[in-house]
Amino acid sequence: MTSQVLSTDFLIIGAGVAGLRAALELCRHGHVTMVAKGGPQDNNSFYAQGGVAVALSEEDDVDIHFTDTIKAGHQLCSPPATKVLVEEGPARVHELIKWGAKFDTVDGKLAFTKEGAHSRHRVLRAGGDATGSEMVRALSAKAQGLKNLKWLGNHFGVELLTHDGRCCGATILDELKGTGKTVLASAVLLVTGGAGQIYARTTNPANATGDGIAMAFRAGAILEDMEFVQFHPTSLYLPSSPPFLLSEVLRGEGGILRNNRCERFMKNYHRNQELAPRDIVSRAIWTEMQRTKARHVYLDATHLSPTFLKERFPTIYSTCLRYDIDITEEWIPVSPSAHYFMGGVKTDLDGASNLPGLFAAGEAACSGVHGANRLGSNSLLEGLVFGLRAGKAAAQYAKTYSPPAMISHSFRKKSSERTMSEQDVEKIRNSLRRLMWTKVGLIRTADSLQKALEQLRQWSGKLQKTPFNRAGLETRNMVQVGQCIIEAALWRTNSVGAHYREDIPSSKGLKWKVHSQCQQKKK
């Protein structure tokens, strides 16, 4: 397949908070091409409800934020990376406010709330429960009109390009035309988000299929901590609707979890009850579901003021009402769903991977700030802080390297020339999601993981003949990421944070404070 060849100084794949913040920095140093599936709102950042955690309130400071983050991460966070996050976070948020981000206030002062595992009120919110969309809006508005920024929406990153051991660009698919393009760049930044869609139940949007993580793996980048997949405890459970995130702040403001026997059960699992860390709440809910033979538990907020609920959680209130649930009068059926990936492309403090020229930030990266269990609302802050740092590092790197004028690459054949049908691809995708949910979900065993791995290896072979379109390429990436998760989960022979092995429930062992790594074997 012939392709158009484009050249740019910096290539950004993804368009969430981390990508936008990096773009604003990189546009000061050269031409930036930003590639993203779908439109500017099709990213995890946009759908983030709860808020952004930052030590700005009078009762808080960066040392306390640091301690809470390390504790929630079960001592597996990188102390240097966490220090960068909490210390640089306030400046990044003040900067965003200066650019027009409108966070909620009370009596003219920023309003802070509390979430599980936070010891202080430090979570800023916008629009009640629309923090991510407001941050994306403010960053997008700042980026509009930048002459050095070229936006390529509805474009899908296919493969990273390497030359002489360096990353020098990527091949991309024009989703609307079905044609391939080659983009050469001095530095590439992956900000493609997570991979929640590999699970049957997820709070993530449809495009969270792990594309950047899979691309980096195939190019030789090291992936770290892939076994740590965070399951959000409370997503709306209705057979006729997709899972919808019910922000942890609902529990922070007083929401109560009850099983189908009307019992408040979290007191049996943790001293902080509903405000325990997410991994503990998720497993407690799962245990109650198994014990009572139920498909969900309930989140009860009916004791809170109806006016408060409507004003504080407008998106949640209106969404639940759409499904005939009035949260001011009725308990909300909830169950855990795949939510956030702590693992990803291993980076240093400046977003650099082990592959020269390749940088990563946000959920696609493993910067080390989340450890075995992310502290709620730290992710948007990570996007701001490490998006900027990765942008600065990429700009510095580009001063010493220019991509080749041309690189040899052959695109895969058109879908009509492939032997695998789109129906077969869809069947694998759906089967993968069910398999990952049942065998590589909240509760794992060596037996369940091994059976899942054998099946994914079979699918991986078949998907070498996938159609050259978004659905086929996404499915291939999903299987690739799934394999890495399983291999890391088999390697970690202990339970810690979001990784729970029912056959090895102890959190101690030889690999207690060691990090898993996955890397493509050289052929």
* Catalytic residue (one of 21, 125, 201, 278): 278
* Under 8 Å between Cβ of 409 and 171: yes
- Which amino acid, 92? R
Residue with tokens 């969404």: 319
Q: Which residues of 1-33 are buried (b: 16+ CB within 10 A; e: fewer)?
A: eebeebbbbbbbbbbbbbbbbbbbbbbebbbbb
Q: What angle do CA 284, 286, 292 make, to 5 degrees?
A: 100
* Residue from 225, 276, 268, 197 nearest 496 by CA: 225
* Residue from 136, 125, 126 nearest 20 by CA: 136
- Sign of the dihedral defined by the CA atoms of residues 317, 323, 329, 331, in that order: negative
* Under 8 Å between Cβ of 360 and 190: yes
Does the annotation mark 291 as catalytic?
Answer: no
CA distances to 59, 177, 197, 290, 466 from 477, in Å: 44, 21, 11, 32, 11
Separation between Cα atoms, residue 64 and residue 471, nearest integer Å? 44
* Under 8 Å between Cβ of 257 and 264: yes
Residues annotated as catalytic (active site), given as ranges: 278
